[in-house]
Structure 1
Amino acid sequence: MIYLTSPATVALTALLFFIAIFGRYVLFSLGFWWLFNVSLKEQFAHRAVQTRPRKAGQDWHEIGWSVVTSLIFTGIAIGVIYAYQLGYTQIYTDIHAYPLLWYPASILLVLFIHETYYYWLHRWMHRPGVYKLVHKTHHDSITTSPWTAFSFHPTESTLQAIVIPALTFILPLHISAVGLILIIMTMSSAINHLNTEIYPQDFNRHWLGRWLIGATHHSLHHTQFRFNYGLYFTFWDKWMNTESPDYHRLFGEKSKKTVGSVVEARSEE
């Protein structure tokens, strides 16, 4: 664990954290964008959820907001490090300090709490008096891409960023578990904003897939606004009856053709 002992150490640590946070965003966003829009573009072209063209300069607009988001995430990370040094957090580095079963259980528990927090925060951000001030920046991207993943107004970035750091004061979390949770968060956000349905046919009705959010599910939120508020999972939307009535139909349309069927169709031409 890094210790902040001088202004120079703080500055260097902040720089390294910003590079790691923004770099993680760029790595996942660029990776998913290249894979499904360049490398596998022909095979997945029929899986584009929204066909409305993105606005001119939208990528750079989203990247600009993502820089601001990454700076906010960095500032909060430095605060957590200070708190750890003072002994206020429950972060631990010895993997044997708690039963090994707690390691995966702690990750699942944090994801559940984060999902719950975000679902209700997200619904609050759609209130008329709040939306324009806090959430509209993100919804300026109607047709999303992986670059949309961190494109938030600073107030929303802060509200989103505080929950996992807050949990480090309450729940014992191994330092690597915290890192893994942040990677899951970034990867999930890139997939959800991809605007290309990458999950297989009928995955929306699979015992696991029915609980996971993907591009179709979240794209409907960006176009319909009053449905599909979840972050990682669909259970709150299902429990609160806020899952879009168009979701299963649209998922079926976007996933019914497989890569194999496209290749087969081309071979018959």
Structure 2
Amino acid sequence: MQLPDLSNPFWFIVATVVVFAVVIGRYFLIAGLFYFIFYRWQTVKWQARKINNRKYKEGQFKKEVSWSTITAFIFSITGAAMGLAWQKGWQKIYTDVHAYPLWWLPLSLLIALLLHETYYYWLHRWMHQPKIFRIVHKVHHDSNITSPWTAFSFHPLEGLLQAVFLPALLLVMPMHLYVLIVHLTIMTFSSVINHLDIEVYPKGFHKNTFGRWLIGATHHSLHHKQFKHNYGLYFTFWDKWKKTESPVFEKLFEEKAGRR
């Protein structure tokens, strides 16, 4: 893929604007889709699966969108910087699907997701230290009851800490461009579902072979209420291993997922 020379300030700004449009567009598309389906067009079934019955704070959605827009801007600068680093040969992004064995495509995605989970779990626990929390993480927790718009609602410092993971990983691990896009899309979908405050997974999902390792709305909603449990991003394995999973998660999931 031939890109303009991003070392030229003009083209770097253009790339930043293009990436911003993609990131904020993806945010509005996915978060907006879930918002309209589960909030505006809410059926009795989904209303019964709502985890918190309290009202949202006045102006919460607008604040979340504002913070998310800033986060998207930080992600866009990072994305443009990745493009520049790619041109310089510093990023191991590749476009030729045959440059590595085909089995590397799904394996690289899995490795990236597992490493991202590990990075975020420990970063998240660090951000809950009282002094760090007040500066870096409080903005996100101002959404005590989460919504689809909470997905990227971060303080700029937290947004930056989240943005650096993939560029750092791609310094050492090769990943196809489209696999990278899939990873970013999974990240957005996962974040929106986790902050939905409506349990979309079916009854018993939290105990089956696949579902027991996935985080959903009930799992993450408890984090926003309890603060000291459920630090994961995509998966539950770190919470299970380090015994930070909420002791009331299974009971609450069964209660919400079982409602019709």
**Pairwise TM-score range, normalised by the shorter structure:** over 0.9
Q: Which residue of structure 1 aligns with residue 61 of structure 2?
A: 59
Sequence identity, in percent?
A: 50
Give matches, 1:164-183, under 5 Å.
Answer: 164-183=166-185
- Corresponding residue number in structure 2 for 1:103: 105
d(CA) in 2 for partners of 1:213, 1:120: 16
AA at the equivalent of 1:213: I
Partner of 2:5: 4
Cα deviation digits, residues 28-57 of structure 1 (max 9, x gap):
100111111233432210000111211011
Provide the C-alpha distance between the structure 2 equivalents of 1:232 and 1:13, rounded to a whole number of angstroms: 29
2:237 paired residue number: 235
Task: Judge conservation of contact 1:135–1:152 (CA < 8 Å) in 2.
Answer: yes
Query: Out of 148, 151, 169, which is 2:150 matched to?
Result: 148
Q: Could you list the per-position Cα deviations for residues 69-109 of structure 1 after superposition, in whole angstroms to 9, with x for gaps in the alignment? A: 01100111111111111111111010000000000000000
SS at match of 1:96: coil
- Counterparts of 2:197 and 2:205, CA distance in 1: 17
Amino acid across the alignment from 1:80: M
Moved over 6 A (4+): none
Show structure 2 runs of 5+ residues with no match: none
Residue 161 of structure 2 aligns with which residue? 159
Aligned partner of 1:41 among 28, 37, 43: 43
Residue 205 of structure 1 pairs with residue 207 of structure 2: yes
Decide whether the 8 Å contact of 1:3 with 1:85 is kept in 2: no
- Aligned position for 1:91: 93
Q: What letter matches 1:85 in structure 2? A: Q
Counterpart of 2:128?
126
- 8 Å CA contact 1:213–1:230 kept in 2: the answer is yes
Cross-structure match for 1:113: 115
* Partner Cα separation in structure 1 for residue 205 and residue 69 of structure 2: 34
Name whichever of 244-253 and 40-49 sits farther off. 40-49
Structure 1 residue 229: deviation in Å?
Answer: 0.2
Hey, what's the Cα distance between the residues in 1 that align with 2:167 and 2:33?
27
- Runs of 5+ in structure 1 lacking a partner? 259-269
What is the CA–CA distance in structure 1 between the aligned matches of 2:10 and 2:133, rounded to whole Å? 39
| Per-residue deviation, residues 156-206 of structure 1 (Å, max 9, x unmatched) | 000011111111111010011111100000000000000000000010111
Give the drift of 1:137: 0.4
C-alpha separation between the residues in 1 aligned to 2:91 and 2:4? 14
Q: CA RMSD in A?
A: 1.0
Q: Which amino acid aligns with 1:215?
A: A
SS of equivalent to 1:87: coil
Residues in 1 aligned to 2:161 and 2:178: alpha-carbon distance in whole angstroms: 23
Aligned residues: 258
Using the size of structure 2 for normalisation, the TM-score is: 0.97
